[in-house]
Structure 1
Amino acid sequence: MRRIVGLDTARGLAVLGMVAAHVGPDDTWRTVPPGGFAQLADGRPSALFVVLAGVGLALLSGGDRPVVGTRLVQARLRVLVRAALLVVLGAALVELGTPVVVILVVYGGMFAAGTLALRWPRPVVVTAAVAVALLGPVVRPWFDAFPVVAERPLDPLTVLVGHYYPAIVWMSYVLTGLAVGRSDLRSPRVHAWLAGLGAGLVLLGHGGAAALTAALGRRTDLTTAEPHSASPFEVAGNTGTALLVLAVCLAVGVRWPRALAPVSATGALALTAYVGHLLVIAALGTGVVWSPTTAGWLWFTGVIVVACWAWRTWVGRGPLEWVLHVVSTRAADVAPDALPPRTDPAGPASPAAGEGEVAGATTAQGQTSERAQDPSAERR
């Protein structure tokens, strides 16, 4: 299946947003926009990544024409193998000890959970996404009495209700992406729908939170839209932002794909770029995170874009993306040996049924993190 330039571009923007969140300059003192431009990279890129993960689930299982039977089983196996590899990689990255909250373990868990919804009709997927967004934030406080240790990324409780990326809430983003991926992503009508829905959700999330806070005279855990608050309003706002970005990228990608090449190449190598930048942070030390500079951020951004663009142009699939593709494809036996051609007395031999490959696209991304306000906390 041909890669969709707009999807890779959106993924590339999410990678660059992650870089800004980790090593970008701190301008939270600004009042325009509120909280500074650094606020824009706090929470939103990671939500965009997870929405795109849901889109990837859809593409790996047939896109707007979902596969069935053996191909569905193979698609699920591909997803599960990729998820397992991401969990292992995420746990290894945590061991680097960088002041960054690595999302890959939670991401892999949600990616695997998404296989349960691959055959759900789109209205059911949308309903489930809304239900998780509304009920997840209400249920999550029930687990406050249980200890959640960020240093134990494989702890199921950390995955389910961890502070920054609680799967009990963030699964809404996966389901949203799955619903989007069941559409014709090259259709201008779909782009328009995504843009309109995204704008409405942004207004609902941020405008609704502001209005309700003003009416109550105070901000609560459920009425705030602050990054990583995991409230219904934050989920609505983040989902709307992700849909808007995706709509614009898809529309531009259809018309001017070459103009997007540097950023789309970055998105095509998203996992490699994510892991690579964490390795560089580990090598340079925590100062690059806690005392960031504009020059440092520009160097990170420039090197990532140029390196990804060059690799994509001259080599092709990224190294980590290649590993995920090869291991998951072989494990699922997506391209089985062809059966001998059937000899038909009435006509020429016909190819064996079942030949071909399940539709798919590389969807593994690392996730982002945002700066904490005090050095005792991690940047996520």
Structure 2
Amino acid sequence: MSQSKKRITALDFARALAIFGMIIVNYKLAMQAENGGPAWLQSIAGLLEGRSSALFVVLAGIGVSLMTSKARTSMNEELIRQSRNSLYRRAAFLFIAGVLLLLMGWSADILHYYAVFMLVAAVLITVSDNKILGLFSIVLLASQIFLVIFNYGNGWNSSFREYSGFWTIEGFTRNLLFNGFHPVFPWLCFFLIGLWIGRKRWLDKENRSKVLLYSLSGTVVFETLSFFLIQWTSAELNVGVAKYLFGTKPMPPTMLYVLSGICSSVAVIAICLYVVDKFENSPLTQAVINTGQLSLSHYIGHIVIGLGLLQALGYLENGGLSFAMAYGTAYFIVAIVFSNLWIKWKTRGPIELIMRKVC
């Protein structure tokens, strides 16, 4: 297998892991199972919270960067126009899909945010690497400032489960840009850094060890910084305010959360590159890669089918953390089996096929 092919399949491997993490986190959220269960299980679930989605968005940025690389490097006007039109159509498709999930009651949807990311990507095809990093810095700083000057809890009830006025223009816009589950400020940062990484040689074999070392070190540094900033400022600000400003949980999404999330995402991608490189002939590795190739189908499926089944059986709001994680793991295993049966018939997943025809 060529190095470029290994790189692409490693990204699919990472997408499958991201989907698995998102399934666990979303089922825990849907079942309101944040508390309860053994401490070690709570720790595992907590580690996945906000990290799996961040990895998914970074991978999306890398994927779009690779998809538009020919148009960017050639600067051919026709190729650039075609790439932009494709991204516009994808944005429309993902926005409609996301809104349908929202109408079905899934308030934690990520697809309608993706639509905005695709629109941004279309504009940035020919923009320089430095300008992408500049935009990344602006969005990151603006997001932290917004947390200070605006009311992050606006629209949410006390448990952050219900959002009043969501379907009004003001509420939808506020949720989309500022205080939803994956708001453009700052989640666009994950996508932008993915776009930037996709233009680099970071994923090549000769750079892999450095990338892994730096990204793991970065994760430790930002998590440590968060811990000490919370400790040092708690007396002056109180613990709640200190965590609000310097925590690394996804809600609210602070600057330190974004930086730590980027580092942990890049570390996982680097590890996936090693795994695919070493175990490329393993049936299990190939099975996981195939699952990652159907990631959009599995994202929609785990909500419509997975949560739909729980709703029908009456378990949606009655399952504990242990059940949520066991059910999520079982669903992912079924997803792996389905992917490997489907891939023998079609090269793309069912939702991916529909999007391909449209886009």
Q: TM-score higher than 0.5 here?
A: yes
Pairing partner for 1:14 from 7, 13, 18: 18
- Structure 1 partner of 2:308: 282
The percentage of counterpart residues that share the same residue type is: 24
Pairing partner for 2:333 from 302, 315, 331: 302
Query: Using a 3 Å threshold, how does the CA distance of structure 1 residues 81 and 9 change in structure 2: closer, same or farther?
Result: same
- Shift in Å at residue 67 of structure 1? 4.2
**Across the two proteins, how many residue pairs are aligned to each other?**
326
User: Alpha-carbon deviations, 1:127-174, whole Å to 9, x = none?
Assistant: 332332233121245443975757439833321113321101111101
| Aligned counterparts of 1:185 and 1:326: Cα–Cα separation in 2 | 32
Deviates more, 1:47-56 or 1:214-223: 214-223
**1:268–1:318 contact (8 Å) kept in structure 2:** yes
Letter in 2 for 1:298: T
Query: Using a 3 Å threshold, how does the CA distance of structure 1 residues 279 and 4 change in structure 2: closer, same or farther?
Result: same
SS at match of 1:313: coil
| Aligned counterparts of 1:42 and 1:324: Cα–Cα separation in 2 | 28
- Structure 2 partner of 1:230: 253
Alignment of 1:324 onto 2:350 = no
| Aligned counterparts of 2:358 and 2:14: Cα–Cα separation in 1 | 25
| Aligned counterparts of 2:52 and 2:36: Cα–Cα separation in 1 | 17
Query: Using a 3 Å threshold, how does the CA distance of structure 1 residues 128 and 290 change in structure 2: closer, same or farther?
Result: farther
Which structure 1 residue ranges, 5 or more long, are not aligned? 329-380
CA RMSD after TM alignment: 2.7
Pairing partner for 1:188 from 179, 191, 205: 205
- Structure 2 partner of 1:351: none
**2:27–2:328 contact (8 Å) kept in structure 1:** yes
User: Alpha-carbon deviations, 1:300-331, whole Å to 9, x = none?
Assistant: 12111111122123322111111222221xxx
Letter in 2 for 1:227: P
**1:87–1:105 contact (8 Å) kept in structure 2:** yes
Pairing partner for 1:134 from 124, 128, 141: 141
- Shift in Å at residue 258 of structure 1? 3.4
**1:29–1:36 contact (8 Å) kept in structure 2:** no
Alignment of 1:81 onto 2:89 = yes
Query: Using a 3 Å threshold, how does the CA distance of structure 1 residues 122 and 275 change in structure 2: closer, same or farther?
Result: same
- Structure 2 partner of 1:258: 281
- Structure 1 partner of 2:266: 243
Deviates more, 1:54-63 or 1:84-93: 54-63
**1:198–1:240 contact (8 Å) kept in structure 2:** yes
Query: Using a 3 Å threshold, how does the CA distance of structure 1 residues 60 and 105 change in structure 2: closer, same or farther?
Result: same
SS at match of 2:56: helix
| Aligned counterparts of 2:173 and 2:74: Cα–Cα separation in 1 | 31
Letter in 2 for 1:94: L
- Structure 1 partner of 2:65: 58
Deviates more, 1:173-182 or 1:102-111: 102-111
User: Alpha-carbon deviations, 1:180-222, whole Å to 9, x = none?
Assistant: 1112465113323431332132123211100111222342422
| Aligned counterparts of 2:279 and 2:84: Cα–Cα separation in 1 | 34
Alignment of 1:198 onto 2:187 = no
Query: Using a 3 Å threshold, how does the CA distance of structure 1 residues 123 and 257 change in structure 2: closer, same or farther?
Result: farther
Which structure 2 residue ranges, 5 or more long, are not aligned? 156-162
SS at match of 2:138: helix
Which has the larger helix fraction? 2
- Structure 2 partner of 1:176: 193
Query: Using a 3 Å threshold, how does the CA distance of structure 1 residues 289 and 77 change in structure 2: closer, same or farther?
Result: farther
- Structure 2 partner of 1:95: 103
Letter in 1 for 2:25: A
**1:199–1:241 contact (8 Å) kept in structure 2:** yes
The TM-score normalised by the length of structure 1 is: 0.78
Query: Using a 3 Å threshold, how does the CA distance of structure 1 residues 60 and 290 change in structure 2: closer, same or farther?
Result: farther
- Structure 1 partner of 2:122: 115
User: Alpha-carbon deviations, 1:53-81, whole Å to 9, x = none?
Assistant: 11122012117963422211211111111
- Structure 1 partner of 2:344: 313
- Structure 1 partner of 2:158: none
Query: Using a 3 Å threshold, how does the CA distance of structure 1 residues 258 and 185 change in structure 2: closer, same or farther?
Result: farther
- Shift in Å at residue 237 of structure 1? 1.1
Structure number, greater radius of gyration: 1
| Aligned counterparts of 1:115 and 1:140: Cα–Cα separation in 2 | 28
